[in-house]
Amino acid sequence: MKQEEIGLRVRRIKHGTVIDHIAAGQALNVLRILGITDRSNEVVSVVMNVSDRKKDIVKIEDRELKPEEVDKIALISPDATINIIRDYEVVAKHRVILPSQIEGVVRCMNPNCITNTDEPVRPRFVIHRNDAVELHCVYCGRVISERIADFLI
C-alpha cells in the first residue's frame, strides 16, 4: 500500500501534529506519554497496525507538539517521526530524539526506591542507548531495559 492510500484511512487534518512510524501497537502508550486522555480537549485519531502491522499513526488536531514534548516518545518508539501540519501542508518534519534524561514519565521498578514512596520526588532516569534503550534510576540506580511501556506513569 502506498503512503497516500494509508492517509485515506483517516481524514487529513488541517492543523496539528501527525506522529508517524510509531512501533506497531504502541499508539495508546504514545497518547499516555503525551498526557492525552479521555478528558483532553484535542481531537485525536489513532490508526494501529498499518502497513501489515508494521506501524501505528496518531493525529492530533489543532495542537502543534513541541520537540521536548514528543521526544519522550523515543523511549517506546525510537523511529517515530513528527509532522507539523498547517493548512493541510507538512511545514516541519523530524524524527524523535531520545533525551538524555527523563523525569516523571516512567516509575522506578524497584519497590524499595525512594521515588516509590510518599516523598515529594519525581522519578528521574538517565537514558543510555546501547543495543536497546536503558533507563538508569538517578536515585537507586536500578536499570529498566525491557518492557519500558509497563512502567509508564
Partner 1 sequence: MIRHVINITDLSRDEIDRILDRAAELEPIAHRGSSNILSGRILATLFYEPSTRTRLSFDAAMKRLGGDVIDFGPIESSSIAKGENLADTISVISGYADAIVLRHPKEGAARMASEFSSVPVINAGDGAGQHPTQTLLDLYTIRKESHLSNVKIALVGDLRYGRTVHSLAHALSLYNARIYLVSPDQLQMPDSIKGDLINSGTRITETTDIDDIIDVVDVLYLTRIQKERFPDPGEYQMVAGSYRITNETLRNVKDDLIIMHPLPRAGEIDCEVDASKHAIYFKQSFYGVPVRMAILSMVME
Catalog residues that contact partner 1 under the rule CB under 8 A: 108, 110, 112-115, 117-121, 137-143
Q: What single-letter DSSP state applies at residue 112?
A: T
Indicate which of Zn ion, partner 1, none lies near residue 15 (CB less than 5 to 8 Å, by partner kind): none
Least CB distance to Zn ion at residue 55 (A): 32
Cross-strand partners of 133: 129
Residue 104 or residue 141: which is nearer to partner 1 going by CB? 141
Task: Give the span between the Cα atoms of 50 and 43, in whole angstroms.
Answer: 20
From candidates 30, 31, 135, 137, binder to Zn ion by CB under 5 A: 137
From candidates 110, 121, 133, 134, binder to Zn ion by CB under 5 A: 110
Least CB distance to partner 1 at residue 116 (A): 8
- To the nearest 10°, report the CA torsion of 81, 12, 32, 150: -60
Burial of 143 by CB count in 10 Å (0-12 exposed, 13-18 middle, 19+ buried)? Answer: middle
